[in-house]
Structure 1
């Protein structure tokens, strides 16, 4: 399915899975997907990754290595349910403060509820806003994280420029995303599971296969690792690199604002 992928020059703005939609149409469609799956989103991440998303997220936060000082500020974008933010707060010994930003109120509601139960409410703010137009001043954050969210943003280049803008000099950018499998045999097994298994399980768990069909297709449209790294560099970032997880099923992209 790799020939479906867009290049570093763009194409995601009008891509809703394998469908081509008009400018401005993608965001409402994506919003509808996440309203539908919000309550079961983290369960479905387990299903889609065989539970490996937990290992990948732990590795992402270990890569960030948040300090144990209250002055450290991070922004977790498209992080509505709080999965990454909770890990960062825990890794800092509950010292740092973070902002969880999502365009979807349903996802944020789940995250705020979970934060209260975990005792993280004092460390986190939940903000409903668009990754393409962040409501923060320049140089506001020490770190910007986004996990399994960037491919759902219509204008990825704009979101990357916004990430660069709100980071302080010396700030860290980390993006975890499903990517292109680079291991023979595994790629065929993964395709079979993705296009046959995941929508069926989504229907069984959430009562609707369609949102999960979109999620699978959006993974296959997302740029290859090297192409996405080029987009990050184009936004102004330095020391851009990536690490494949599980043969490229997911990849962690890392960069700095220098």
Structure 2
């Protein structure tokens, strides 16, 4: 395989087309237990991270919002309540199983009719230029094969003055925390995956994909290169998670 045809799937080097299929298989496998595992893995703290993202988005009544890799709809549900009937919320995910789980969850909460559902690849988003006020992607960017293409695609469809929020696992800020986090990630996560979701391999990939994801400063630089005028990031839980916020000029 030529170097430009390959990418990372966790710690493995694979063909880019192969990564797309492998990531799809992971999320087809974990979709049904995704919410339960999120609560277990993060001890429920993922809800605080997502709430902080919602608050920093500044979404108001009438806004147009796109949640990419929106999975089971946590952010989309909050946005639907905030934008009101005159706003627009689109839940997009490349994975059909995750999109179905998210749609069913939102219907159960009485919000299904307030959200549009689109199966889409973040690298080539099927929306017009300058359309959305806010775009979010939570714990999804690390699974994208061509992150630069995805960031450029998001920048294109944001309105001038619009905001992109990238919530993602990142690099812990202390050596001690980093060592403890490694131990937890590579020992506990696969075991939880095996016991709860009957799938240790997918959660081994999760731990590996987090380590291969760009750190805080690298992702900030990538967002600036993609055309965002300003980019700031906020470390949470000691840098285990970071929220990057980029504004389009």
| TM-score, normalised by the number of residues in structure 2 | 0.95
Counterpart of 1:218 (choices 203, 209, 215) is 209
Give the Cα–Cα distance (whole angstroms) in 1 for the partners of residues 43 and 70 of structure 2.
20
Q: CA RMSD in A?
A: 1.5
Counterpart of 2:79 (choices 88, 102, 108) is 88
Runs of 4+ that moved beyond 6 A: none
Q: Which residue of 1 aligns with 2:129?
A: 138
Q: Which residue of 2 aligns with 1:248?
A: 239
> Retained in 2: the 8 A contact 1:12–1:154?
no
Q: Which residue of 2 aligns with 1:128?
A: 119
> Retained in 1: the 8 A contact 2:165–2:243?
yes
Counterpart of 1:76 (choices 67, 90, 94) is 67
- The Cα of 1:228 is off from its aligned counterpart by 0.5
Is 229-238 or 18-27 further displaced after alignment?
A: 18-27
Q: How does 1:167-206 map to 2 (within 5 A)?
A: 167-206=158-197
Seen in structure 2, the aligned counterparts of structure 1 residues 199 and 109 have a Cα distance that, compared at 3 Å, is same
Unaligned runs of 5+ in 1: 1-10
Give the Cα–Cα distance (whole angstroms) in 1 for the partners of residues 129 and 160 of structure 2.
10
Matched length: 246
Seen in structure 2, the aligned counterparts of structure 1 residues 95 and 58 have a Cα distance that, compared at 3 Å, is farther
After superposition, give the CA deviation of every residue in 1:188-216 in whole Å (9 maximum; x if it has no partner).
11111100001001100011100000011
SS at structure 2 position matched to 1:172: strand
Q: Which residue of 1 aligns with 2:97?
A: 106
Choose between structure 1 and 2: higher helix proportion.
Answer: 2
SS at structure 2 position matched to 1:240: strand
Q: Which residue of 1 aligns with 2:26?
A: 33
Q: How does 1:138-177 map to 2 (within 5 A)?
A: 138-177=129-168
Unaligned runs of 5+ in 2: none
